[in-house]
Amino acid sequence: MAEIVAKHPDRFAAGVATLAMNNIDSALRETDRAINDLGLKGVLVYTNVNGKPLDLPEFMPLYEKMANYDLPIWIHPRRDETVADYITESKSKYRIHGALGWPYETQVAMARLVCSGVLEKYPGLKFITHHCGGGVPFLAERIRGWTRVRGDAERDADLSKEPIEYFRMFYNDTAVNGSTPALMCGYAFSKAEHILFGTDMPFGGEQGEQFVRETVRAIDEMAIPDSEKKMIFEDNARRLLRLSS
């Protein structure tokens, strides 16, 4: 990845390292190598690590390291058909695991990082989600009510602010397959500063070109100032990835 980025600076602004999180010590070393030696601009993890949530103590050293580097952590959903949608079934049907299960994985990962206090502990840490937060912007007011701090330690978050305020700290990409209403939901939730251009390429038709085209159109059709569209297309990424302009 680093080689391709170095070879085609006119096409690739930056690259990111995918971490194998099953061995956190190796993942930490790989993070240092990726950023210091290879010049990559962040790391990518999945919404679960062999079925484990991202808020376990063993993963905290990565969050501390990335907060210190001041570079983002991408969170990509991961779920296959073996995760059944009903307790009476052994697998998910009709690709529901991907269509709906992936956004749900993203929502839950966000909730766990919020409610366990990871974002309170590392206020400078920048998580980037795909699929515009997987629907969290749509459910924002519902989440606000359900996650309110109520003092029941077993069930509730122990945070100094309302949980929903930490949900707003995530950066969310625009990969919603060309839906302007979904992007406007994301915009209302987190403002333009927290939305990043993303397309899900190479998924979609024409080796991903279709998604690129539809995503650009969907952003163009957002009822927001051009200056904010520029933030989404370019400025936010430059800032987060600390790219020279």
Chain positions contacting a copy of itself, by CB under 8 A: 48, 50-53, 81, 83, 85-89, 93-96, 98-100, 103-104, 107-108, 111-112, 115-116, 131-132, 135, 137-147, 155-157, 176-182, 184-185, 187-189, 203-204, 214
Of 2 and 108, CB closest to a copy of itself? 108
How many Å apart are CA 190 and CA 165, to the nearest integer?
10
What's the chain's Rg over C-alpha atoms?
18
Q: How far is the CB of 10 from a copy of itself (least distance, A)?
A: 30
Q: How far is the CB of 114 from a copy of itself (least distance, A)?
A: 8
Q: How far is the CB of 237 from a copy of itself (least distance, A)?
A: 22
Of 14 and 109, CB closest to a copy of itself? 109
Q: How far is the CB of 147 from a copy of itself (least distance, A)?
A: 6
Of 42 and 59, CB closest to a copy of itself? 59
Q: How far is the CB of 68 from a copy of itself (least distance, A)?
A: 27
Of 72 and 178, CB closest to a copy of itself? 178
How many Å apart are CA 46 and CA 22, to the nearest integer?
11
Contacts of residue 47, Cβ cutoff 8 Å, sequence gap at least 6: 54, 75, 76, 77, 78, 79, 105, 106, 108, 109
233 DSSP assignment:
I
Query: Which ranges of the chain does DSSP label H, i.e. alpha helix?
Result: 2-7, 24-32, 60-69, 96-99, 101-115, 118-121, 136-146, 163-167, 180-190, 209-220, 226-230, 236-240
How many Å apart are CA 221 and CA 180, to the nearest integer?
7
- Give the tokens for residue 134: 């997987």
Of 35 and 119, CB closest to a copy of itself? 119
Query: 80: buried, middle or exposed (CB in 10 Å: 19+, 13-18, 0-12)?
Result: exposed
- CA distance between the termini of the chain: 21
Of 124 and 205, CB closest to a copy of itself? 205
Q: How far is the CB of 127 from a copy of itself (least distance, A)?
A: 17
